Structure 1
Amino acid sequence: MPDRQLAARLALSRRHLLRGFGAAAVTAFALPLPRSALAQPIFRTYPFQLGVASGEPMPDGFVIWTRLAPEPLAPGHGMPAQPIEIQWEVAEDERFQTIVRKGNAVARPELGHAVHVEVAGLAPSRPYWYRFIAGRERSFPGRAMTAPAPGAAVDRLRFAVAGCQAYDAGHFTAHRELAAEGVDFVFCYGDYIYEGRSNRLRNGPEGPVEVVRPHEGDEPYTLDDYRRRYAQYKMDADLQAAHAAAPWLPVWDDHETDNNWAAAVDQDGTPPALFALRRQAAAQAYYEHMPLRPASFPVGPAMQIYRRARFGDLLDLDLLDTRQYRTPQPCDGAWASDCAEAGRREADMLGARQHAWLMDGLRQSRARWNVLAQQVMVMDLDRDTGPSAGYNLDSWAGYRTPRTRLLEGIRDSQRSNVVVLTGDEHQNFAGELHLDGRRPGPRPIAVEFVATSITSGGDGEDLRADMVPIKAANDQLKFVNSQRGYLICDVDRERFQAEFKVLDRVSTPGGTLTTRKTMVVLPGEPRLVDA
């Protein structure tokens, strides 16, 4: 066949494929073209709509992530049911003049065309920049940091704590501000997405008001449902900026699957076998959208997300999972209440294996500071200002036997520099941890900082009226604030400092960020003091 006829036929075939896959069509098929052409998929729409991310920092590398999704909310996300090869590059400089690692990865349809690349062979304790290339398209760059070498002397570490980012509750202004903080990493404590359906209106103090940004679609149950929900969140430019600025260490809480779920049980009484199908879809979607290592690859509904990150001799970070192994909430999780079930001896929060792993790590640690990075409050905060006690039974306060086991284990490990980092509450809290918060002992076992939400709960206020008597009734509680924002932890050998960053509003773009409170923990003295 003459060369011109062959070229015309190939061009016709290419146009046919493009039409068949719609506006975001890709050609990555074994047509008889030169090798250079085969390696160049063609996109009509930018394929990196969901941004890039890095995570899991180690001394010699990290994970870099992206997902090809030219039409993120469309069925099939604008991609063919075909594996697509993409390229990745890691450089020492943000202009990519000195590329130190590069390679190819395959974006597979089984994983929604998500890519997780484990980059290794890098120098410890320094920044790198990375990007992805698919055909003629190039992603925006991201910045990552390697961890210090094992046991290396580390003078300072600065990181953020963030989570609870309901899309329909406000704008992600806090993420844009976080991106400018220059942190070494971000600990995301969970509730990265919310699974509920949005209505156009919600009931406000003065009647119906418009929801800020409604969720697309109904409540997710299937893998495609969860993919679309993650895609809606990840299309937000402010969230993309926070991911591109530093590596993330994420864990999940409940809303990545279903509100208040616990192991095989959901809040609606769904048969466990059916709920396992939903958990499986939620776990796969979570893995597809987080910069996690293949070690966290889900197996059915199960997923390994508790793990440890070390930062030289300064800090050991234990990331916990308080959802997958817990027993159901006592008393149906009733708010601000107490009941005999809260003291069940058979109750569990971490499961035996995770608890043993945590305690072994604490006993063997040689770090200056030990941080438990987890989801729900450990302080047994009494929220009933009357003569009765009332707790958040979805927190550790509803699991008194596991809570006692945790705090006794910390005490017996003789680790006096333990800091617990928490989310979930949609408020800022700082407090000291005792075996029994109702009768605090002479010396706390550890301290806890609870980071407020990015958006969940709306604009908020400095101090809710209902929190005034609660603060007065709980001696272990040293600070509370009800605005939106995030926490910055600035750690050196002489102090663990927590800065509560808050916004004046999230209901409209452009909220103003301030530092509402700064508190400090000193080595060997698990008490909170004002900076």
Structure 2
Amino acid sequence: MILKETTRRRFLTSVGAVGGFAAASLAMPYYARGSSSRPVFTSGVQSGDVDAASGVVWTRVDRPSRLFIEYSTTDKFANAVRLAPFDVTPETDLTGKLLVTGLPPDQEIFYRFVAADLQDINSRSEPIRGEFRTAPVSRRNIRFVWSGDTAGQGWGIDDEGMRTYQTIAYHRPDFMIHSGDTIYADNPIPDEIVLRSGGVWKNRIVTEEKRTIAQTLPEFRGQWKYNLLDEHVTALNAICPVFHQWDDHEVLNNWSPSTDLSADDRYKEKSVAVLAARASRAFHEMTPIRYVAAEPGRIYRKVSYGPLLDVFFVDLRSYRGPNAHGLDEELMPQSRIFGEAQVAWLKRELARSTATWKVISCDLPIGLVIWDDYGKRRGSESISNGDNDAPLGRELEFADLLRFIRDAAIGNIVWLTADVHYTAAHYYDPGKAKFQDFLPFWEFVSGPLHSGTYGPQELDGTFGPEVRFIKAAPGGIESNLPPSSGMQFFGVVDIDGQSEQMTVRLMDRDDNELWRTVIDPQRTS
């Protein structure tokens, strides 16, 4: 049975219950409250990477501070557990996050921060609060959402704000997956944009860091701080864990290790490696992603969400070869996109998974042809190379992964992605593919959250994708319609705790259901 939709009234009531906040106060920027003589929180709270026993919580303050944190299983903070305080300084841009462990499973967790000024330890802020629910250890209904692409193509915070986040919050998901392009470091936000249809889009909020492309570490950090000025974003963050991955615009469009910026007059910093390092640091400082000590900066990971669901996050940016290499007939280092270590990890963890559903959250679609240079239709930016033939180049690594999944009889794998700024359902059928050594599977595409909307991309037949549904802007990849056009999209996934069926719905920002399918789990002997 699918969970009943949360109405707007029920949503506002539930938001108002978070730590005793009124819904209206959640919508106000935290930096606008309190006395300047006391620390104030600038960007709300966030939680992420929540499993049955732990989760990461995050906040940011306006000055060097000592953060005190406590949590409880009640919104009145009865029998609260107080954790050891920790300090935040300009070294991390005054952000602080903590992995909270030892939590009870399948339980609402209410948490709050208080900040004490390091210059005057007795000067303390008002508390700031949030909540999340830990994963179950037994079968229950699960709901999560996914989308991607925030504040791109110059479309920033207007009078309506990033309203898709508000629509997502009405569904009260257990968690949200942000599938990449979490920021647009290479897309400045102007004060206004003249619309081709007539009229003017006005960005109500524009910061100095968003008036230019990001090159320095403070500028990369500023991209994140801009998004967190939106009331819908911070309201959702307060009640819903967000699991983050990145794609290209966290650094710059279509970047790979071979990206050449020598002729790009916008960039004084010409090293893409330096830019990527700064972008990665800002990404980890500004999100509630877990820190992996064995591999600092690592984004690929698995989050176990009970016996029905494992989510695998992959990173198709950090380990890829050059975008413009030849179409190798054998798998070579330059033709990899996962990278040898990551694909070995993914195979191993998929084989070990005992969850009914294995969701692979991928920052790029599989069968859509995405060119590094659209004008000349040159260079593979994603996996498919556009020749509709046997696997070559980057397709070889993916073909090897699909063959492994088939040979290991790993069922119930679903791929989720964003990136292309429209929504679609793709079914991959080996009977219709040039490469046929794989089990059939679904890939669902949804986005953007708050960016320009584009027309559909062409499909490559190597892995046999079939479009079962699509909604995209007219006019192809040059359309770039604003968020006010309404064509902002997200997906909702419900897993039934009894039947274990997965229902996937593709939605728009006005909460219209565009398409749905129900997938029965495949039983293995």
Does the TM-score normalized on the shorter chain lie above 0.5? yes
Is 1:172 the equivalent of 2:162?
yes
Q: Give distance in 1, aligned partners of 2:514 and 2:418.
A: 17
What are the within-5 Å matches in structure 2 for residues 349-428 of structure 1?
A: 349-380=337-368, 393-398=380-385, 399-428=394-423
Q: Give distance in 1, aligned partners of 2:368 and 2:92.
A: 40
Structure 1 residues 404 and 84, CA, compared in 2 at 3 Å: closer, same or farther? same
Correspondence for 2:245:
251
Correspondence for 1:64:
57
- The answer to whether the 8 Å contact 2:139/2:308 transfers is yes
Q: Give distance in 1, aligned partners of 2:361 and 2:329.
A: 24
Q: Give distance in 1, aligned partners of 2:49 and 2:380.
A: 31
Correspondence for 2:222:
228
- The answer to whether the 8 Å contact 2:195/2:201 transfers is no
Correspondence for 2:483:
none
Is 1:448 the equivalent of 2:443?
yes
Structure 1 residues 495 and 382, CA, compared in 2 at 3 Å: closer, same or farther? farther
Structure 1 residues 392 and 435, CA, compared in 2 at 3 Å: closer, same or farther? farther
Q: Give distance in 2, aligned partners of 1:91 and 1:520.
A: 37
User: How far 1:90 moved relative to its partner?
Assistant: 0.9
**How big is the alpha-carbon RMSD for the aligned residues of Structure 1 and Structure 2?**
3.4
User: How far 1:341 moved relative to its partner?
Assistant: 2.8
User: How far 1:134 moved relative to its partner?
Assistant: 1.4
What are the within-5 Å matches in structure 2 for residues 164-243 of structure 1?
A: 164-166=149-151, 168-169=154-155, 171-195=161-185, 196-200=187-191, 202=193, 204-206=195-197, 209-210=200-201, 212=203, 216-243=210-237
Is 1:109 the equivalent of 2:102?
no
Q: Give distance in 2, aligned partners of 1:204 and 1:268.
A: 32
Q: Give distance in 1, aligned partners of 2:230 and 2:295.
A: 26
Q: Match for 2:66: what amino acid?
A: E
Deviation string, structure 1 residues 69-96 (Cα, Å, up to 9, x no partner): 3xxxxxxxxx3xxx42121121212232
- The answer to whether the 8 Å contact 1:128/1:143 transfers is yes
Structure 1 residues 160 and 116, CA, compared in 2 at 3 Å: closer, same or farther? same
Correspondence for 2:278:
281
Is 1:326 the equivalent of 2:330?
no
Structure 1 residues 259 and 131, CA, compared in 2 at 3 Å: closer, same or farther? same
What are the within-5 Å matches in structure 2 for residues 426-465 of structure 1?
A: 426-434=421-429, 439=434, 444-458=439-453
Correspondence for 1:294:
291
User: How far 1:330 moved relative to its partner?
Assistant: 3.3
Q: Match for 1:197: what amino acid?
A: P
Report SS of the residue matched to 1:90: strand
Q: Give distance in 2, aligned partners of 1:297 and 1:113.
A: 24
Q: Match for 1:364: what amino acid?
A: R
Deviation string, structure 1 residues 8-47 (Cα, Å, up to 9, x no partner): xxxxxxxxxxxxxxxx9xxxxxxxxxxxxxxxx9844762
Deviation string, structure 1 residues 330-358 (Cα, Å, up to 9, x no partner): 37xxxxxxxx6376732111111110111
Report SS of the residue matched to 1:513: coil
Is 1:305 the equivalent of 2:267?
no
Of 487, 490, 493, 2:494 maps to 490
Report SS of the residue matched to 2:49: strand
Deviation string, structure 1 residues 197-234 (Cα, Å, up to 9, x no partner): 23445575457954646563311111111122211111
Q: Match for 2:228: what amino acid?
A: K
Instruction: Give aligned pairs, total.
Output: 441
Report SS of the residue matched to 1:295: coil
User: How far 1:363 moved relative to its partner?
Assistant: 1.5
- The answer to whether the 8 Å contact 1:251/1:321 transfers is yes
Q: Match for 2:338: what amino acid?
A: L
Correspondence for 2:107:
126
User: How far 1:269 moved relative to its partner?
Assistant: 7.1
What are the within-5 Å matches in structure 2 for residues 7-22 of structure 1?
A: none
Structure 1 residues 395 and 203, CA, compared in 2 at 3 Å: closer, same or farther? farther
Q: Give distance in 1, aligned partners of 2:438 and 2:245.
A: 30
User: How far 1:475 moved relative to its partner?
Assistant: 6.3
Structure 1 residues 267 and 495, CA, compared in 2 at 3 Å: closer, same or farther? farther
Q: Match for 2:308: what amino acid?
A: L
Taking structure 1 as the reference length, the TM-score comes to 0.75
- Structure 1, unmatched stretches of 5+, are 1-23, 25-40, 70-78, 332-339, 384-389, 504-511, 527-531
- The answer to whether the 8 Å contact 2:169/2:236 transfers is yes
- The answer to whether the 8 Å contact 2:256/2:317 transfers is yes
Is 1:144 the equivalent of 2:125?
no
User: How far 1:477 moved relative to its partner?
Assistant: 1.2
Between the two proteins, what is the percent identity of the paired residues? 25
- Structure 2, unmatched stretches of 5+, are 1-30, 117-123, 372-376, 386-393, 473-486
Is 1:479 the equivalent of 2:496?
no
User: How far 1:122 moved relative to its partner?
Assistant: 1.5
Of 75, 84, 93, 2:74 maps to 93
What are the within-5 Å matches in structure 2 for residues 515-530 of structure 1?
A: 515-524=513-522
- The answer to whether the 8 Å contact 1:453/1:486 transfers is yes
- The answer to whether the 8 Å contact 1:56/1:292 transfers is yes
- The answer to whether the 8 Å contact 1:63/1:116 transfers is yes
Of 144, 149, 170, 1:159 maps to 144
Taking structure 2 as the reference length, the TM-score comes to 0.76
Correspondence for 1:53:
46
Structure 1 residues 475 and 486, CA, compared in 2 at 3 Å: closer, same or farther? closer
Q: Match for 2:272: what amino acid?
A: F
User: How far 1:438 moved relative to its partner?
Assistant: 5.2
Structure 1 residues 381 and 177, CA, compared in 2 at 3 Å: closer, same or farther? same
Larger radius of gyration: 1
Report SS of the residue matched to 2:289: coil
Structure 1 residues 345 and 48, CA, compared in 2 at 3 Å: closer, same or farther? same
User: How far 1:514 moved relative to its partner?
Assistant: 1.4
Structure 1 residues 412 and 486, CA, compared in 2 at 3 Å: closer, same or farther? same
Q: Give distance in 2, aligned partners of 1:194 and 1:139.
A: 31
Correspondence for 1:500:
506
Deviation string, structure 1 residues 495-520 (Cα, Å, up to 9, x no partner): 111111202xxxxxxxx321111122
Structure 1 residues 420 and 327, CA, compared in 2 at 3 Å: closer, same or farther? same
Q: Match for 1:498: what amino acid?
A: V
Correspondence for 2:18:
none
User: How far 1:312 moved relative to its partner?
Assistant: 2.3
